[in-house]
Structure 1
Amino acid sequence: MSIRAWGCAATLFAPVLGAGLLFPAMAQASGIPYASNRPQSFQFSSDFTEPYNSVGQEFEYNDDRKRFDDHGNKVAGSNTETYVGLTSLLHYWKMDGLPNTGFIASITLPEIAVRGNGTRVSGLGDPLVGGLVWYNPTPLRTIGAQAYVQLPTGADSVSSDTYALWPSLFYNEWLGKVNIDLLVGAILRGDGPHHTEPGDTGHANLRLGYNIVDRPTYQVTPFLSADYQKTFGSDDRNNNAIEFSESNETALGAGVLFQLKPGVQKVFAQKMWDQVSIHYSKGVEGRNTTVTDGLFVQLWHYW
């Protein structure tokens, strides 16, 4: 199988920004970073000559009716609904003297809204700026690293008011018709508002896709998802542990990825395989966090 989407960076900035992360006064964190990943998210090819770009729009919805309590039981939650949009612009390039290697610089702006149960807040969230480097040991395998800085410049109602660094490592490989996509990373947070110390987060995101349709002009890949996050406890301004601030969650899901061959959308000057994906994920185990019950959609175009 040939590599289809040379720059499939559809999930560089896809945390589910639940209410706990949006409002620092709340002890509970919610949402698994990169929950909207799809197969081939980190499949890249260094087989190109000129720099190119991509633009992406992601839509994330989570039903916040349930949460995991401190004992791991599902109990009544905030009874709100969280909506997140992620608008991303990426630039791809190579450097002479570094074979089989490529780079991406990117910026993402979140659009956030929380509705229900007397809550009605919305605004532009904290942007993420950074990039990644990848290496192709073989044409069907990609390994690499990425890092992004989250800047607390969003609207007051949805900003975390906290600087954060998002480092991670990724791996992608085709085994026949099966695509394996794996990301392991962390969110390292600086001082929070009112001299608090928010806990750091570790996460892992796995996608297994199976290519059931491989036509000259399009491709269809159903997939399974597995996500995990662990957030360590936060401290208040007096260095006392904030109760119930330590959390974790495991979520499982399924979806489908559609890809369209370059040249089909001539009016848009399409350069790479464009992608559309949709999938659903549900929290199956956790503690002190809103239960993931979300729908994720991604649209990506390359030129």
Structure 2
Amino acid sequence: MQEEKPCRVGTLLAIAALAGGLGAATSARAQVTLDVIGPHEYDLPVDFKPFNVFVQYATFQDGNRLWDADGDRRRTSATRTIVGLSKYVHFWTPESNPKMGLAYEVIVPEVGVRNSDTRTSASGIGDPITGLALWYKPTPNSTLGFQSFMQLPVGDKDIGGGDVWKNLSSLFWDVQLGKLTYTADAGFVFFGESTAADATPGTLFHTNHRVGYQLNDVVEPFIALDYERQEGWKNRATGAKVAEGHETTAGIGVMFKYYGNQSLTVRYSRGIDGESHGATDSLNLKYAYVW
């Protein structure tokens, strides 16, 4: 396991990952759920003193393309979306079992959407997210855990909030092999009924993978692969379903660690395959501070 402070820098990124997918659910679905994770996302410690983390995410999404029902990339309305995610996390080890770790967090999304074709825009606070994660270390260089979050439907309706509650639950794991690092997750998003659309969104499956190589104690380039598939929406009255959609994205980025308790991650991601889904074309930033 890494030294405590660098490990905490990885830890601070671990639990809020869903915000990138759920917090940005304002314009036509673009980014894959939990695609905000980076290297060491789940490289988590055990048997540690309680500590806190603040994370600020920023995503810039160019939404002028979508995947049609035939899997072709088509032009759509020129939409630009900026999503900020402000997150506070508290980490602790239960006294009854110091070989386990726990974390509780609260995330507040800030969303801005602009349509260049219609010259319209909207901004506001998205649906807040809160949840819990727990984990243990099967070996000194590996981590296995479970996380579950609720996104509450109380956000600004102008940017797509305040209608459907969501639950995201997933397994996550991490393996450190010398300078090579691998962190990943796989899980589901469950949705409540939409009163506005008189329909229930279909269950969504997602998985996210990051492989990095530590050049030194400061710089770590990495590659990213994300995938999600959502079942079709079901009309409660007729039982009819809208076609399901999916997308696979690939990305490249670099993580910078400095001062022992801070990190900055930069990543570009682009959709490489999809169907009935927004096409990802995004620049993603993440700043993390541990105390």
TM-score for both structures, normalised by structure 2: 0.92
How far does the alpha carbon of each residue in 1:153-175 deviate from its partner, in whole angstroms, 9 at most, with x for none? 00111205101111011001101
Query: Runs of 4 or more off by more than 3 Å in structure 1?
Result: 16-19
* Alpha-carbon distance, 1:196 to partner: 1.3
* Alpha-carbon distance, 1:103 to partner: 0.4
Cα distance in 1 between the residues matched to 2:112 and 2:21: 12
The answer to whether the Cα contact below 8 Å between 2:12 and 2:290 also exists between their aligned partners in 1 is no
Alpha-carbon spacing, 1:57–1:90, altered in 2? closer, same or farther (3 Å): same
Secondary structure class of the residue paired with 1:22 = coil
How far does the alpha carbon of each residue in 1:265-291 deviate from its partner, in whole angstroms, 9 at most, with x for none? xxxxxxxx3111000000000001111
1:22 aligns with 2:31: no
How far does the alpha carbon of each residue in 1:39-62 deviate from its partner, in whole angstroms, 9 at most, with x for none? 1011111142x2110000000011
1:13 aligns with 2:18: yes
How far does the alpha carbon of each residue in 1:199-253 deviate from its partner, in whole angstroms, 9 at most, with x for none? 1111000000000112xxxx21000000000011002241343434x11000000
Match of 2:216 among 205, 210, 213: 213
After the TM superposition, which of the residue ranges 97-106 and 124-133 deviates more from structure 2?
Answer: 97-106
Match of 1:169 among 160, 166, 171: 171
Secondary structure class of the residue paired with 1:212 = coil
- Structure 1's unaligned 5+ residue stretches are 263-272
After the TM superposition, which of the residue ranges 4-13 and 277-286 deviates more from structure 2?
Answer: 4-13
* Counterpart mapping for 1:223-242 below 5 A: 223-242=222-241
Residue identity over aligned pairs, in percent, reads 31
- Partner residue, 1:156: 157
- Partner residue, 2:282: 294
Cα distance in 2 between the residues matched to 1:202 and 1:235: 16
- Partner residue, 1:130: 131
After the TM superposition, which of the residue ranges 154-163 and 56-65 deviates more from structure 2?
Answer: 154-163
Cα distance in 2 between the residues matched to 1:208 and 1:80: 31
How far does the alpha carbon of each residue in 1:9-60 deviate from its partner, in whole angstroms, 9 at most, with x for none? 32433324598x326xxxx643201112111011111142x21100000000
The answer to whether the Cα contact below 8 Å between 2:47 and 2:100 also exists between their aligned partners in 1 is no
User: Considering only aligned residues, what root-mean-square deviation do their CA atoms show, in Å?
Assistant: 1.8
- The number of equivalent residue pairs is 282
Secondary structure class of the residue paired with 2:136 = strand
How far does the alpha carbon of each residue in 1:79-133 deviate from its partner, in whole angstroms, 9 at most, with x for none? 1111101000000111113132110010001011110222311110001111100
- Structure 2's unaligned 5+ residue stretches are none
Alpha-carbon spacing, 1:18–1:251, altered in 2? closer, same or farther (3 Å): farther
* Alpha-carbon distance, 1:78 to partner: 2.1
Cα distance in 2 between the residues matched to 1:2 and 1:280: 27
Alpha-carbon spacing, 1:239–1:160, altered in 2? closer, same or farther (3 Å): farther
Secondary structure class of the residue paired with 1:187 = strand
Cα distance in 2 between the residues matched to 1:129 and 1:17: 12
Cα distance in 1 between the residues matched to 2:259 and 2:70: 49
The answer to whether the Cα contact below 8 Å between 2:228 and 2:248 also exists between their aligned partners in 1 is yes
The answer to whether the Cα contact below 8 Å between 1:51 and 1:92 also exists between their aligned partners in 2 is yes
Which one-letter code corresponds to 1:44 in the other structure? L
- Partner residue, 1:114: 113
Alpha-carbon spacing, 1:136–1:18, altered in 2? closer, same or farther (3 Å): closer
The answer to whether the Cα contact below 8 Å between 2:254 and 2:265 also exists between their aligned partners in 1 is yes
1:96 aligns with 2:95: yes
How far does the alpha carbon of each residue in 1:129-188 deviate from its partner, in whole angstroms, 9 at most, with x for none? 111001012222111000001100001112051011110110011011011001101110
The answer to whether the Cα contact below 8 Å between 2:63 and 2:80 also exists between their aligned partners in 1 is yes
1:275 aligns with 2:263: yes
